[in-house]
Amino acid sequence: MRIIALSLLLALPLAAGAQVKCPDGSYRQSCPGGGGQAISGGNVSTYDGPAQQSLPPLQFNSGGSQESRRYRSAGEATRSGQALEGPRSVRERADSAGLTRNQLVRARNRGNLLVGMSRKDVDHIMGPPDDVNTYVNSGRRCDNLWYRDRERGWHTRITMCGGKLTSYGADSR
């Protein structure tokens, strides 16, 4: 069995046909309607990618309203390359929420929301939101996450400020 498989693998390059570049730019065994340019060098093709272009840096509005200035100040950490992601481990997320690890794990498993939870924990419990409204409050980024209960016809609004759950409840929208 090994000998047959080995002989098939050795014969495979011999069975491959030559490539031809057709006038429409495609590569095939033969071009429909004839024509085409035979590619030399066996079955190896090369491709030179487009030249690397340097893009200009993003320009942010320098003037504008008070609200746009607050958005810029809230996004400074992002532009300067500082990580905005919260703690990653369950222990770190529980500590940042002011909870014990067991309280956080128990709440996640039961589907209970607790004030101070991270976005990762909220997404684990609620799933992806149907709509997100982002704004700046006291220099912190805040998100209103909207979840629609299609069976009952009401909405749940979860407010996250600074990456932590600050409030939640049913809301009419």
Q: What is the DSSP string of 54-117?
A: PPPPPPPPSS--HHHHHHHHHTHHHHTT-------SHHHHHHHHT--HHHHHHHHHHT---TT-
61-115 tens-digit pLDDT: 555 554 455 555 555 555 555 555 544 788 888 888 888 889 989 998 999 999 9
Whether 147 is covered by a domain: the verdict is yes
Q: Which residue has the higher pLDDT, 54 or 79?
A: 54
Q: What is the mean pLDDT of the chain?
A: 75
Angle CA(84)–CA(75)–CA(143) in degrees, nearest 5? 75
Whether 146 is covered by a domain: the verdict is yes
| CATH number of residue 105's parent domain | 3.30.1450
Residue whose pair of structure tokens reads 């905005």 in the numeric block = 84
How many domains does the structure of the chain reveal?
A: 1
3-state DSSP call for residue 8? Answer: helix
| Cα(51)–Cα(123) distance, integer angstroms | 41
| Domain span at 122 | 66-171
Is 59's pLDDT higher than 70? no
CB of 141 closer than 8 Å to CB of 134:
yes
30-48 tens-digit pLDDT: 788 777 787 766 566 666 7
Instruction: Give the rounded percent of residues in the chain with a pLDDT score beyond 90.
Output: 15
